[in-house]
Structure 1
Amino acid sequence: MTEKKLTNVASGPVELGVRIAGDSGNPALVLLHGWPHSGALYDGVIDRLAAENFVLAFDLPAIGASHGAPPSAEKTVLADVVLSAAEALGAESIVIAGIDVGGMIAFAAARDHADRIAGAAVMNTVIPGVEPWSKVIADPRIWHFAFHAVPELPETMVAGRERPYFDFFIDFLAGDKKKITGPMRAAFVAAYARPEALKAGFDWYRTFELDAKRNAVPKTIETPMLYVRGDADGRRIAEYLQGLSHIGVTKLEHETIPGGEFSPLEAPDAFVTMLHRFCARCQPKPR
């Protein structure tokens, strides 16, 4: 049975909502959502993942059960906030896994906080500043990256209309939109219902330029990394692997699983099996 707790983190006045399952003595698995999701994305798989790991599925700062603004929406800062919260809960030998923006944060953890984690799974995302970043942001189907980065306007246009706006992106990004149920969509909308939550989500996009500038500087990244894509969007995973290797990732694995961006909902069996295998391959790294 999962349990929901709140904890304070060291990086400023931030309180994070977190779903917790499993034995705290096991290696930890930190799960991060992206946009427009919340930690509810993992409700259907957290107990199964907890068979082998101490699982922490966070709501990112200001989203859902989380409150308080982080010092910055830069992904390296968010990685520090989340890892500090996980460590405060006793997490050790942490594998951090994220989808969409959560995957960007997982990459930042491997790049900038390697001494605090045993592995990183980067799922269904492109990393700012790491190719094929320039190709992706030039794709007219990804118009929302630029729109969401505009100050204040997205909040003005979307506030009070979150459900149809989110539904558009869920339907666009899912391989099988029927697998993202009405109650799950409603949970995502509720997580962004507060003005500060909606702003926090758009702020992730507003810092992409800063994220890209940092990530584009080559750096040897020795943390084991698993890069994952769903097979529904037709993009070649080889481009992403080449970019990660070029920027400095030395221990890179990859998998393609069925569906689109919402892997825990669209392919839960494959998702659980994949993360169990990867966590088992990551060497324990106690604090």
Structure 2
Amino acid sequence: MPGTTRPPVSGHPAISLRRVAANGIEINVAVAGNGPAVLLLHGFPHTWRLWTEVIPVLARHHRVIAPDLRGLGATTRAADGYDAGTLATDAEELLTALGEPSAAVVGIDAGAPPAFLLAMRRPERVRRLVLMESSLGPLPGAEDFLASGPPWWFGFHAVPGLAETVLAGHEAEYIDWFLTAGTRGRGVPREIRDAFIGAYTGSEALRCAFSYYRAAPANARQIQDAAGSRRLTVPTMAIGAHPVGTALERQLRPVADDLTGHLVEDCGHIIPLDRPDALLPLLTSFFAPALR
């Protein structure tokens, strides 16, 4: 198997961590199970551990691949390449390096735009697509969600050098705000919370995280170009919760040939940790055709 394999994850013996060279960086990736591949792409402020409750169930019938995205967690803190198009190439080359010709691809938050672009640009590599709690740049349909403008932190993160300077020494308090808000006050398990805070502590870690927001204009152009030149032919499921709701589904409806939408009630933005009990039946049912 390509890459460097490390011991199983503490408390999760079925999950192994590997470092895999792809698209000019070293990607830290959690791998578990056997069967048709499922690629899980997290967002901010997460790492692969966002999927801790999801991986063991999916791994019963699938080979689950959950990377730390470029610059985040234990993946290379690259100088650039945080636009959705480059991240989509990261994902494709990771699949290639792991010997997977195709996968069901799941993206949430900042992981959704690269998942979308991968499916649009290379549909033969994406068997099924799941997008959660995100918006797709300028595509129509999210006007209600964005009626008061983007969430406040988008502008704060977008100013080069500002947020990482202001937040130095206060990373834990800042990340805690997102974890609490993203679970409607319920919070996440202490072990996962500590892993997230560790991953986003330090000016270089923050620079990489905020580079995702600084790439927003490039993402908008890439998404607009893709949607203007082709259809989304891959079977797709849009899953919303609070605060995005059905906005993502409405954005996808005009460009997707085969779209299913779900709204998870009483659930915050961080669906895989807040309501895995509601998410897992949706995923396992949607992925079931690959097992027949």
The two structures have a TM-score, normalised by structure 1, of 0.88
Question: Hey, what does 1:20 align to over in structure 2?
Answer: 31
Tell me: CA distance 1:133–1:204, structure 2 relative to 1, closer, same or farther (3 Å).
farther
Consecutive unaligned residues of structure 1, counting only runs of 5 or more, are none
Q: Residue in 1 aligned with 2:261? A: 254
Q: Please list, as runs of the form range in 1=range in 2, the aligned pairs for 1:205-220 lying within 5 A after superposition.
A: 205-217=213-225, 218=228, 219-220=230-231
Measured after TM superposition, the shift of residue 243 of structure 1 is: 2.0
Match of 1:221 among 232, 239, 242: 232
Identity rate, percent: 29
Question: 1:274: Cα distance to partner?
Answer: 1.2
Larger fraction in strand: 2
What CA distance in whole angstroms lies between the structure 1 residues aligned with 2:43 and 2:67?
11
Distance 2:201 2:101 in 1: 33
- Residue of structure 2 in register with 1:5 after alignment: 18
Change beyond 3 A, Cα 1:80–1:153: same
CA shift at 1:223, angstroms? 1.3
Structure 1 residue 214 displacement after superposition? 2.2
Question: 2:240 touches 2:248 (CA, 8 Å); kept in 1?
Answer: no
Q: Quick check: 1:62–1:68 contact (8 Å CA) kept in 2? A: yes
Whole-angstrom CA distance in 1 between matches of 2:161 and 2:80: 19
Tell me, what secondary structure is at the counterpart of 1:216?
helix
CA contact (8 A) 1:42 1:57 kept: yes
| Partner-residue secondary structure (3-state), 2:105 | strand
User: 3-state SS of the aligned residue for 2:74?
Assistant: coil
1:252 partner letter: L
Shift of 1:91: 2.2
**Contact map agreement 2:102 2:124 (CA 8 A) in 1:** no
1:60 aligns with one of 61, 64, 69: 69
- What is the CA RMSD across the aligned residues, in angstroms? 2.1
Task: Find the counterpart in structure 2 of residue 160 from structure 1.
Answer: 169
The equivalences for 1:164-183 within 5 A come to 164-175=173-184, 177-183=185-191
Q: Distance in 1 between matches of 2:171 and 2:221?
A: 31
Q: 1:171 to 1:47 in 2, by over 3 A?
A: same
1:63 is displaced (CA, Å) by 1.2
CA distance in 2, matches of 1:104, 1:283: 27
SS of alignment partner, residue 31 of structure 2: strand
Give the count of matched residue pairs: 275
| Aligned residue in 1 for 2:7 | none
Note if contact 1:28-1:92 (Cα within 8 Å) is conserved in structure 2.
no
TM-score (norm 2): 0.87
Q: Which residue does the alignment assign to 1:125?
A: 134
Distance change >3 Å, CA 52–CA 241, structure 1 → 2: same
Distance 2:129 2:147 in 1: 27
Task: Give the conservation status (yes or no) of the 8 Å contact 1:131–1:240.
Answer: no
Quote the Cα distance in structure 1 between the aligned partners of 2:147 and 2:209.
Answer: 21
